[in-house]
């Protein structure tokens, strides 16, 4: 068949080494959370980059969050949905 995939049993330390490599590459981030026991911590991992680009609605400011004003020194025209500073 010629495939390179093989069946390998991985231990928890093996998987943590793989995840550490992904952290160093900037693809995964780790967060520690208090566990159920005394001095127990859970290691939580998540991807830093999404598989799909965000939709336009996510990028549009709602008007409640502060949005920095764009001046002519930074851009010739403000992006859609951003109000440029007068003057």
Q: Which of the residue ranges 15-19, 31-35, 46-50, 74-78 would you say has the lowest mean pLDDT?
A: 74-78
Residue 77 pLDDT > 50:
yes
Q: What is the pLDDT of residues 22-72, one digit of tens each?
A: 999 988 999 888 776 667 788 889 888 877 776 666 666 666 766 666 655
Q: What is the pLDDT of residue 50?
A: 74
* Alpha-carbon span 27 to 19, nearest angstrom: 9
For 11, 46, 52, 58, the CA distances from 8, given in Å and listed in that order, are 10, 24, 30, 41
pTM comes to 0.48
Of the candidates 61, 64, 84, the one whose C-alpha atom is nearest the C-alpha of residue 72 is 84
């Amino acid at each position: 068949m010629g495939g390179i995939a093989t069946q390998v049993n991985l231990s928890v330390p093996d998987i943590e080494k793989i995840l550490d490599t992904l952290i160093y590459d900037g693809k995964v981030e780790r967060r520690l959370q208090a566990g159920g026991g005394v001095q127990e911590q859970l290691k939580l991992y998540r991807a830093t980059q999404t598989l799909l680009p965000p939709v336009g609605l996510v990028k549009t400011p709602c008007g409640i969050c502060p949005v920095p004003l764009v001046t002519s020194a930074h851009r010739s025209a403000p992006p859609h949905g951003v109000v440029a500073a007068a003057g």
